[in-house]
Structure 1
């Protein structure tokens, strides 16, 4: 007889259960997801010993008839998909048909469900059906899971203390409390309420979960074609020392995704101290065919068809609500964004005075003229500043500084991959040495694909947009052409007449001007500022000869 043999079904079910059910929190997750898919308006979760002894989930969703209740406990039985094509457009939280079967295989399990009227009670122990009975029940479902892993002691030994398992369950409940603000949730342990969320709006729920006030919560919205990002973000001075305050949802599904987490941190990079993490609840709506949720039995992982576009949307949405890399703006404000390193976004409804972080306390911002010039009072004189020329020079110096300080590279947590036309591809090949000298790290992978792995420390913008603009300009031959390229890109990306800037952003531009001096010119030689003394102005009005 050979050494290879098929495993008995009872052993197979226990092995498979380990992929779906890792700990009591996994049970809570699967059962709450079933409640949400059933359209529940109320979900109550009862624990004993952190879920080690008991997890009970009660909902008022649409219950099941006896036939469906029994089928639901069979492996790979579900009402949510029917064909292979359905896997490419999943809209429900559950779909694999594994959860109830897996949980029942490693616990003392009771399912009590009813569409209204007479309900069905199914009892299973260690995967073995014990009884089926009838009992009156209002519409809804109750699932009791007792003594998890009682028949799989090797797995039970890896469970932690009741307190630790309870903390994991609390984290799972917070996900669904954020994802479903119109649903009432209650979490209890031996009668003591651990968490309760009444129906409300997302901002109120987020504030309550994070121990903040609603005024400390920012709402964000962003869109890119068929993809939409919505959510809430705590003001950046409220942080944690770990990422447990970050919640990501894709089409309503809670996920753990490095791409989304990396894009969040990129959007907030200049607003966080190293080792700090924000509070957020970000909801990405994306066509189901553009995301694969069938990656792992836990359904926590996803794969995006267009990862760069997703990361870019998240990064832009987060940066927008914060007003760019270092300012405080509004997500509803008109915006200007440069992919060359300075993002300017916001609205200026009324400006009385800007407190400049200058060594000269006599600088005072007066306002704007014609949407293009800043008016500044300096030591009693009037200074007119061309904001386009000033920003153009700021960007130009930023680019020049990049290639002069070679080797200062910031590696990206999630590399950016994008496709290019053959002509763009060949141009990048011809300028690779220049770009790497500036601090960019990238790989040309063939078939028109480019992967950006790192950017210069000074760079804060959209790397893919920068690469496309750079390739569109053609090859660079010599230092003189490199300087001309920097001037051309800076001019194209600088603010234009009428672009609205916030007070903080004006402050940044004028701080740059103060540091360089009023005799500064744009890369093409035009003056950035003109200074008129009081006497000069009086002569214009013929008050002085």
Structure 2
């Protein structure tokens, strides 16, 4: 007797439902995609108990004829593709013909549809057709799904609370609203409207509805293209970040997707501007020839494959870098005692003795304080605004040490042109020997003296060290690294990639490397750990991101050579810190992504003192 047998249609539909329909949000996604393919301009989503009890999608799209309405519930029945050639140039959301039969096999489904000529009702309960008959209904389609997974206990028990399931549905609908700003989406939960987009085509307005006014105001419009791809969308200023990576959204030909590699391209573009552990808010629409992308990877259609993925990654990174470089704004304190960015917290110690601040009159006559330990000192600057003061010794000291062996590098000079985006500031005082207070035309600025000098030193060192330096330092005691057999066997490829850095590994035994000389710019950091990181990175990725590794080394040197907290600065020295910063190519963040200064606008101050009605 044969052991292999053909499964019946109902059982195959239930098996397929395990991939297509994982939870209520998956049902919503499939049904909304059908409404979009039907050219709907308004889509309403009604949900009860997080979709576990009931979900209803109502659209004003094309609708279906009586014949199509019944055929749509048969497996692999679709109007989206007709032959093999269509599979390689898919431009619709749906195409597999699996969603409706899969959904109807694990729930009770009622479909009402009208194509402008006839209305039809189709009712199916857990794979069994109950009725199909004419009915009076408005043009478009209304589909109701009830009691999802009630007869599949193994799947039903994995559903979570109604509030959690609804949060996933809400997230999907908001992504649809960003992908299709020209469609009006209305989401109801237990008869209460919780989200509605206008469908006027304004993505920034949708951003405001989802993330709030401050995020929408901080959004930068981005555009880029090459021979194969066109990118448009919005990238939010780096002072508005999130704790997870799920705010980086991609839409390929308006299809929402997930892509780790595209997320990494965004993070690479934002890395100079945000701290570790924070993630940007980015919405990108990517348009391309459908033949360059394979959407037939998984039934859920979240994953795709690109023919030229590295090219797309490069375009995304380059487009975002250009937008951020040209449109960067100052980190702003938007609410009193609540910052929109991660930064060190001001620590004010209790003063047990009475403190009299030192004030100066207009003739610069100082009143001697009764107590000699003021926490904040206000001084009138002794130099004109544009006069250049003596440079802080700590900066020149590190640069001289690094470049002393290379006359060619000594010719390199930091930029002298003021960054056009940098505001004009005048130093006022130092707070807690850590922060510089300065005034500008539109408010108060608070400068992190260490982060500011770290950024300046990083750019000076980078310009001098990377200006063609080839100097090597022979090591009296070679560096030995223990690695894997995979790395040992790939030593030639590894050395080829590291040759521009002047780093070469020699095989030393079965599982070890030895390095006999290193570039001079590497001797001021933990070179053994740095070299070990490069080998480990190569093993994991089979490539070495030389720029990132080199940047890490330079950032470490810049950090160690910068002004520390708890160091008193004179007023000219404070002004010099500001002057150095304004001549940086990117003055808004230190090399680790932390902000160098914040702005408290006059409007913010007026609100804090209740002067704004």
By the TM > 0.5 criterion, same fold? yes
What is the CA distance between 1:183 and its match in structure 2?
A: 1.0
Where structure 2 has 5 or more consecutive residues not aligned to the other structure, the ranges are 331-414, 428-433, 437-459, 480-492, 505-517, 520-530, 553-578, 588-613
Partner residue of 1:84? 84
CA positional deviation for 1:13:
1.3
| CA contact 1:107–1:126 (8 Å) conserved in 2 | yes
Aligned to 2:272: 270
Q: 1:286 aligns with which of 285, 288, 291?
A: 288
Contact kept, 8 Å, 1:116 with 1:137, in 2: the verdict is no
Cross-structure match for 2:456: none
- Of 577, 584, 591, the residue aligned with 1:508 is 584
Distance 1:394 1:154, change over 3 A: same
Counterpart Cα distance in 2 of 1:88 and 1:510:
44
What is the CA distance between 1:14 and its match in structure 2?
0.5
Which one scores higher on RCO, CA 8 angstroms, separation ≥ 6? 2
Look up the match of 2:146.
146
More strand, by proportion = 1
- The answer as to whether partners of 2:106 and 2:148 remain within 8 angstroms in 1 is yes
How far the C-alpha of 1:9 sits from its partner, in A, is: 2.8
Question: 2:211 matched to which residue of 1?
Answer: 210
Is 1:393 equivalent to 2:464 in the alignment?
Answer: yes
Aligned with 1:221 (options 220, 223, 232)? 223
**C-alpha contact 1:114 1:120 (8 A) present in aligned 2:** yes
**Which residue of structure 2 lines up, in the alignment, with residue 231 of structure 1?**
233
**Contact 1:240-1:276 within 8 A present in 2 as well:** yes
Is the contact between residue 39 and residue 61 of structure 1 (CA under 8 Å) also seen in structure 2? yes
Per the TM alignment, residue 301 of structure 1 is displaced from its structure 2 partner at its CA by 0.1
Moved more, 97-106 or 233-242: 233-242
1:165-199 CA deviation, whole Å, 9 max, x = no partner? Answer: 00100110011010111111100022111111112
Whether the 8 Å contact between 1:402 and 1:458 is mirrored in structure 2 is: no
Larger-gyration structure (1/2): 2
Q: CA 1:458–1:154 in structure 2 vs 1: closer, same or farther (change >3 Å)?
A: closer
Go from structure 1 to structure 2 and tell me whether the alpha carbon gap of 1:454 and 1:4 turns closer, same or farther (over 3 Å shift): farther
- Give the 5 Å matches for 1:34-433: 34-200=34-200, 201-213=202-214, 214-323=216-325, 353=424, 393=464, 395-396=466-467, 428=496, 431=499
Cα distance in 1, alignment partners of residues 262 and 110 from structure 2: 38
- Cα–Cα, structure 1 residues 352 and 172, in superposed 2: closer, same or farther, change >3 Å? closer
1:18-63 CA distance string (max 9 Å, x none): 1100000001000111111111100000011000010100000101
Specify the SS of the correspondent of 2:245. Answer: coil
Instruction: Give the 3 Å change call, closer, same or farther, for CA 119–403 of structure 1 in structure 2.
Output: farther
* In 2: Cα distance, 1:36 partner to 1:136 partner: 23
Q: Per-residue displacement from partner, 1:52-90 (whole Å, max 9, x unpaired)?
A: 010100000101101111111111111111111111111
Give the direction of change, closer, same or farther, for the CA distance of 1:355–1:509 in structure 2 (3 Å limit): farther
Distance 1:434-1:4 versus aligned 2 partners, 3 A rule: farther
1:98-155 alpha-carbon deviations (Å, 9 max, x no partner):
1111111111001111112431110011111110111122221001000011221111
Q: Is the 8 A contact 2:249 2:282 kept in 1?
A: yes
How many angstroms does 1:10 deviate by?
A: 2.1
- Alignment match, 2:441: none
Classify the secondary structure of the residue corresponding to 2:85: helix
| Aligned residue number for residue 536 of structure 1 | none
The 3-state SS of whatever aligns with 2:14 is: helix
Q: Which moved more, 1:222-231 or 1:240-249?
A: 240-249
CA distance in 2 between counterparts of 1:403 and 1:197 reads 65
8 Å Cα contact 1:117-1:137 kept in structure 2: no
| Aligned 8 A contact 1:248 1:282 in 2 | yes
Give, in whole Å, the separation in 2 of the partners of 1:162 and 1:451. Answer: 44
Deviation (angstroms), 1:8: 3.1
Displacement of 1:246 after TM fit?
2.3
TM (norm. structure 1) is: 0.66
Aligned to 2:543: 452
What SS does the corresponding residue of 2:251 show, helix, strand or coil? strand
